[in-house]
Amino acid sequence: MTQILKTTLLMGGLTGLFMFVGYLLGGQSGMLMALGFASLTNIGMYWFSDSLVLKMQGAQPLNDQYPEVKRIVTDLAQRENMPMPALYYVDTPIPNAFATGRSPRHAAVAVTSGIMEILDERELRAVLAHELGHVKNRDMLVSTIAACLAGAISYIAQFAFMFGGGDRENGGNPIAAIAAALLAPFAAMIIQMAISRSREFLADQHSAELLHDGDALAGALMKLDSWKQQVPPIQPTPNEQALSPLMFANMFSAQGLASLFSTHPSTEARVARLKQLR
């Protein structure tokens, strides 16, 4: 199953869950009200995402810092026939990179000082190609739609708890309504995170196919994973936790059952997928 098809199916599942839960808990009117509120919230976040994300990360314009980043991104953007994104850096020892922006014409790519210290140029090129893959695939738009639907489901569930839940006018089952109110937000979050992981696989594939060098990206992933294993567990700040879905690698990811709520596939899974692309 291709990652595009998988994303499509997951988005369809999230939409279906929203429609079912919305009707069960609030009827048609409750469903539409929740969708409208969530849509307005997330569309606003989508429209101003680039400036908000950069400010939250404390990102600074690249200017003369790390000239190799500008050289690499300029070359990759020309090869992709894409507009040149704005370039930034974040002064933090945590190695990472991210892309943001609502479209290729309003995109920004940032690297951290930490990632510049541990990657060689070949690996850095692979990571930057991955981030441009997010821009080209319009992953901010996909993530916003997913967040909108997941948010609407949560709003409906909260509404049900506050006002009793269930579509009583149509003879709704109050027990089913309570169960849906409890379980639906978790189900929506799991699907939303699965969509995020699918888009990470797709950006990995974009990098490997553009450069014909999946080993470089695999090497970068393993270096970041090794760095994470060698330092004490990092407690993310609220900003870092909120923006972790945008990062090249989640340096705060959980293991085991908690991985269902991870925004990124495991390093092992990503490296294995890159090996399959050879």
Distance between CA 62 and CA 43 in Å, rounded? 28
What pTM was computed for the model?
Answer: 0.76
Tell me which residues are annotated as active site: 131
- Asked if 93 and 62 count as a contact pair (C-beta separation under 8 A), the reply is no
**How many separate domains does the chain show?**
1
Beta strand ranges found along 62-121 (DSSP E): 86-90, 97-101, 107-112
Q: Which residues contact 239 (CB under 8 A, 6 or more apart)?
A: 56, 57
Distance between CA 30 and CA 160 in Å, rounded? 10
Domain holding 265, by residue range, is: 3-276
Residue 118 identity (one-letter amino acid): I
pLDDT tens for 18-71 read 666 665 555 666 667 656 666 666 666 667 767 878 888 899 999 999 999 999
Which residue has 């479209």 as its token pair? 103
Distance between CA 137 and CA 78 in Å, rounded? 16
pLDDT tens for 179-194 read 666 666 666 677 777 7
Distances (CA, A) of 267 to 91, 116, 157: 24, 19, 34
pLDDT tens for 188-241 read 677 777 777 888 999 999 999 999 999 999 999 999 999 998 887 777 676 676
